[in-house]
Amino acid sequence: MKFTFNWLKTHLDTDASLSEITEKLTAIGLELEGIENPADAIRPFRVAQILEAGPHPNADKLQLLKVADGSAEPWQVVCGAPNARAGLKGVFAPPGTYVPGLDFTLKAAKIRDVESFGMMCAEDELGIGESHDGIIELPDDAPVGQSYADYAGLDDPVIEVSVTPDRADCMGVRGIARDLAAAGMGTLRPLAEVYGMVSLTPIVGDGSLPNIAIADHEGCPAFFAQNITGVTNGAAPNWMAKRLTAIGQNPISMLVDITNYVSVDLGRPLHVYDRAKLTGTLTARKAAAGEEVLALNGKTYALTDTMTVIADAAQVHDIGGVMGGEHSGVAETTTDVLIECAYFDPASIARTGQALQLTSDARQRFERGVDPAFLDDGLAIATHLVLTHCGGVASDVRREGVAPVEQPTFAYDPALCASQGGIEVPADEQRRILNALGFTATADWQVTPPTWRRDVLFVQDIVGDIVRMVGLDKLPSAPLPRVPGVAKPTATPIQLIERKARRAAAACGLNEAVNWSFLPQKDAEAFGGGDWSLANPISEDLKVMRPSLLAGLLSAAKRNRSRGAQSIRLFEIGRRYFKSADGSSDERLTLGIVLTGEKTPRDWQAGKSTNFTPFDIKGDVMAICDAIGLDAAKLMTLGDAGEHFHPGQSATLRQGPQKVVAAFGALHPVTAKAFGLKGAVMAAEIYLDAVPAKRTASPIRAAYAPPSLQSVTRDFAFVVDASLAAGDLLRAVAGADKANIVAARLFDRFTGEGVGQGKQSLAIEITLQPTEKSYTDDDLAAISAKVVAAAAKLGGELRA
Amino acid sequence: MTDMTEITGRYLAQIDAAADLDALEGVRLAALGKQGEIALLLKTLGKMTAEERATAGPAINGAREAVANAITAKKAALETATINAQLATETLDMTLPPPPRAAGSIHPVSQVMDELSEIFADLGFSVADGPEIEDDWHNFTALNIPETHPARAMHDTFYFAEKDSQGRDMLLRTHTSPVQIRAMVAQGAPIRIIAPGRTYRSDSDATHTPMFHQVEGLVIDKGIHMGHLKWTLETFLSAYFERDDITLRMRPSYFPFTEPSAEVDVGYKQEKGRRVIGGSGDDAGHGWMEVLGSGMVHPKVIAAAGLDPDEWQGFAFGCGIDRLAMLKYGMDDLRAFFDGDLRWMKHYGFNALQMPTLSGGISA
């Protein structure tokens, strides 16, 4: 919302300075967005007169001017403007002036061998308009030597504030002035006085009435109108055109400018129809499906039967409250008009505007909710302006329907200001503020908001207004009550799992990335496809909610590879997105890892660089599992890691045969290639959501004393089928004599000569812990026999 | 009478001359071995008379002891020399590098989330959570943003084509505020929570990414007012930035889910092209920067969550986590947060052991 300082002062009688006003605007919730004085850029430009104009000796299209700008001597100026002539008064820029429209600083120069000092300017050169039809021509009484900015009244700062969506009333300059007055920045002038009217009573006309009707009372509860016949639609008066220009609106014609001005000044949109282009009754009705209208922005809109329009017998003329139609718009030749001042249902306007994707000043105001009690006043002001500036004869006012003017009354308690707003404000001051804002408050605090404040729906809104006006800078801090003692832990089990997993992953040398939750379709499909696709993605690359964290990590790995990274260790913790049977979101917290490139670089000790193997990522996965309370050694290593993994070099870790807690291994080369990655790529996902939360147990551990007897180790090598899983043999050996075997570790694996075709040799070290007495040779022989027997069940033969 | 002095002197000279342990052992055998000269002399003592023994005993024993001691000392010297010679061949260039180790890192967003959890745990707030794929009731309607509300249009919402079983439109949450509703419904009142997480808006330019992180704060209790909100934010920001000169400016604003509502600016100083949080924004060389939206939870929101707004009241606030991280740690490009560039991670990331704690400091 833009307005100028002087414009504001037409409503607000104040001695406050510009900076006081702008600071207060922010303080009361009308945040200052910007302030700009158009005069600042053109201070050096002066009113000047061309004393002489003669031909340039070397150029047909140039003239040689003598220009007086109030300095001692006239300037010699070479000028190419066709309208430059002796006696003309215009705007002059002396040498050294920065010309904003041309973005350069003038210097004395020779033009076709003749010296030229400064220039006579066109509007666009000053940056105040677009006209380049010649140099500016000022009236004869313009005083030579005066600053042009002062002369033209451009020294008027333009203020821009951001109006929050609740404040329909502040979509007009008057509403802003009222807020400032209530905040102690002056007094609000009576509205009639602002418009030079004796009173705001409706203007009584010639007895005739406009031909209007309402068929859609829901979308358009009230439709007031007044005809004016015999108008002359010229240019707007200077003050109005200047204000509209200052806020970036191009003056169009008197009638159009009046509606625009009243809209900005009072937050009251109007529409003016050329009656010559209307046929029959002008009716507020629902559009028929398929109806179209060519709007004032030059675009044609297809309407639906939920939209309210103003139409005559022949066609739609106005998307009610959103934008007028081209057909019945006023033109220079217009003589008979109808002024519409209606109340449109805010929700209906919002739906229509959203459906048509059409924003306008009118929509912005109607959807926030204009003052339903201001139809008569708005029409009176519009008619007054038209009669004053365009002449003509008014009809009587026709009023169809009734706007919803009723306001709720609240049983307000001034103590609420402190108990909710946190600020003690004396009841008298609260009453003063409410009155200044237009509220009525009875002696026993029955408070009714003014009709223009449709946003006041709860007592909290009244508190908000008072706090706003008193100022949040007056708000004292109050400590939150604190539970005595040391703060209690607050993290939930899954939060603890996430935190531990993250720190453990980083401790494994992995770097945490945060990747997009959405993927390109093809990336999602590489991981089985996603359950959720955005209907309105920002781009096709950010469309499908990820079914796996690996896609994002692989893309990040590829980017790093392209940047020359040799060794890439990435992880991410985030959600995978699935759909529950009931259509709600099923989001699963997951940790993803990608390892690619060099595991170790070439090294003076180790020699050549090494690449990652599936056992590297298995190690990371097990370390993280241990950190989050899963005893990794007890998890089952099974298959079915997923189609995106190498079928022979991947596995799942499970708690029991069914519950998968992690999948890891070498990525399938086809998947790696799809993400542009060459060489070995290891990947893993740990399904943190599947990890059981640890029951909060007592911190006391099971009793323990280190064994007094020394443990002993024994080595066994078994020849088994090459297809036997080493883990199965290890598990069998470890379980062969649970009373004595406390650990079993595989330390060698050998295939080839001496072992036999289709066989492998697996060497296992077992650790035996005696409890009461040291082992005898017989004891050890018995344990060995159990181990050998356990291995034999899996086809294992003790290697000689 | 044997001349013990001569014998002792001879062996001591041989011991001294022994070049290695073998030579020394030869001397020991010659003197003290079974057939050694001094050992044989010792054996003669038994055959002597008491008088003879009184003289010869100390002399022979003295010789034996002197020679034995000299051998022990010489042996130690020879062993030291041997090991020194051995070590002299084992010299390494200790400036050579050790085997390389991979150093991991924690993303700044995660680190800041941990910092927030730590700070707010001390204030009695627990961490709450909710789905990122939300329904429009939780994301909008329950937060007093009806379908036609202009504020809904301000949110640049990502939608899905699907509806849930109750016919609600499904969307990506535009803020963490729906967690307020879910937490109140699940836990009732009184309640103190923060809710950090991913949020989404259809917006992408130099300072906006379509995915970003927010943290929501909510306190519902009896007698909670705007002053408590201000204190909480001051306390939080002072703890987070670890500065005592944090100055807030609250400006009235509008959010559908709070009333009264306030935007919160924090004062900063411009130092070497960077914004350093602290001081009043009105001081010379300072400015104000918006960091938070906040307010008293709207009675309609409390009612939507199934609580009685006449009994319970409180405040809520919301804040961008990425922005908090940038302000504290000095990153200037939001887009880099989501790029996964290892170079950026190594520069801005955190070591696994840098856990924010109250005793060790939030910034670890």
**Does B210 contact A463 at a Cβ distance shorter than 8 Å?**
no
CA distances from residue B364 to A426, B112, B118 in whole angstroms, order as listed: 47, 11, 11
Write the DSSP assignment of A146-207 as a string of letters: SBHHHHTT----EEEEEPPTT-GGGGSHHHHHHHHHHTTS-EEPPHHHHTT-S--SPPP-SS
- Nearest CA to CA, how far is A393 from chain B (Å)? 40
List pLDDT tens digits, range A436-453. 999 999 999 999 999 999
- pLDDT (tens digit per residue) in A162-189: 999 889 999 999 999 999 999 999 999 9
Q: What residues contact A98, with CB distance under 8 A and at least 6 apart?
A: A41, A44, A104, A105, A106
Residues of A in contact with B158 (CB under 8 A): 534, 536-538
Dump pLDDT digits (tens) for A506-551. Answer: 999 999 999 999 999 999 999 999 999 999 999 999 999 999 999 9
Size (chain A), residues: 800
pLDDT tens track for A668-698: 999 999 999 999 999 999 999 999 877 667 8
Among the partner residues A464, A511, A535, nearest to B160 by beta-carbon distance: A535
Does A488 contact B261 at a Cβ distance shorter than 8 Å? no
What local confidence, expressed as pLDDT, does residue B155 receive?
65
- Binary contact (A475, B230; C-beta < 8 A): yes
Say if residues A497 and A688 touch (Cβ distance below 8 Å).
yes
ipTM of the assembly?
0.89
Q: Distance from A352 to chain B by nearest Cα, in Å?
A: 10
Map tokens 């000169």 to a residue. B245
By Cβ distance, the residue of B97, B133, B253 closest to A29 is B253
Between helix A427-436 and helix A459-470 the angle, nearest 10°, is 100
Please tell me the predicted confidence (pLDDT) of residue A678: 92
Residues of A in contact with B100 (CB under 8 A): 600-601, 603
Q: Rounded distance, CA A612 to CA A250, Å?
A: 68
Residue A309: band (very low, low, confident or very high) from pLDDT cuts 50, 70, 90: very high
pTM: 0.87
- Which one has a higher pLDDT value, A582 or A226? A226
Q: How many C-beta neighbours within 10 Å does residue A315 have?
A: 17
- Identity of the amino acid at A601: P
Residue A190, preceding peptide bond in cis (omega within 30° of 0): no
> pLDDT-based confidence at B364, cuts 50/70/90?
low
Residues in Cβ contact with B173 at an 8 Å cutoff, skipping those fewer than 6 apart: B130, B131, B132, B133, B134, B138, B139, B199, B200
CA B316 to CA B333: how far, in whole Å?
28
Q: Counting runs of H as helices and runs of E as strands, what totals does chain A give? A: 21, 43
- Whose structure tokens read 């859609």? A216
Question: What is residue A43's predicted lDDT score, i.e. its pLDDT?
Answer: 85
CA B103, B104, B109, B112 dihedral sign is negative
Of residues B100, B148, B234, nearest to A350 (C-beta) = B148
Q: Give dist(CA A669, CA A645) in Å, integer.
A: 8
Find the Cα–Cα–Cα–Cα dihedral A305, A306, A309, A314, rounded to 10°. Answer: 10
Q: Among the residues of A447-547, which ranges form H helices? A: 459-470, 493-507, 521-525
pLDDT for residue B1 is more than 60: no
CB-CB: which of B225, B226, B231 is closest to A479? Answer: B231
Question: What is the CB-side half-sphere exposure of residue B228 using CA atoms within 13 A?
Answer: 23
Characterize the bridge pairing of strands A567-579 and A511-512. parallel
Q: What is the pLDDT of residue A406?
A: 93
- Of A6 and A123, the one with more pLDDT: A6
Q: What pLDDT does A692 receive?
A: 85
Q: Which of B145, B326, B342 to mutate to test the interface with A (most CBs of A within 10 A)?
A: B342
Q: Among A346, A385, A358, A126, which Cα is nearest to A218's? A: A346
pLDDT class of A70 with cuts at 50, 70, 90: confident
Does residue A755 carry a pLDDT above 80? yes
Position B150 confidence tier, pLDDT thresholds 50, 70, 90: low
- Pairwise CA distance, residues A708 & A712, whole Å: 13
For B9-27, b where at least 16 C-beta lie within 10 A, e where not — what string? Answer: ebbbebbeebeeeeebeeb
Q: How far A351 CA lies from chain B's nearest CA (Å)?
A: 6
Per-residue pLDDT tens digits for A790-799: 999 999 999 8
What pLDDT sits at residue B62?
Answer: 87
Please give, one letter per residue, the 3-state secondary structure of A531-587: CCEECCCCCCCCCEECCCCHHHHHHHHHHHHHCCCCEEEEEEEEEEEEECCCCCEEE
Partner residue opposite B104 with nearest CB, options A472, A536, A569: A569
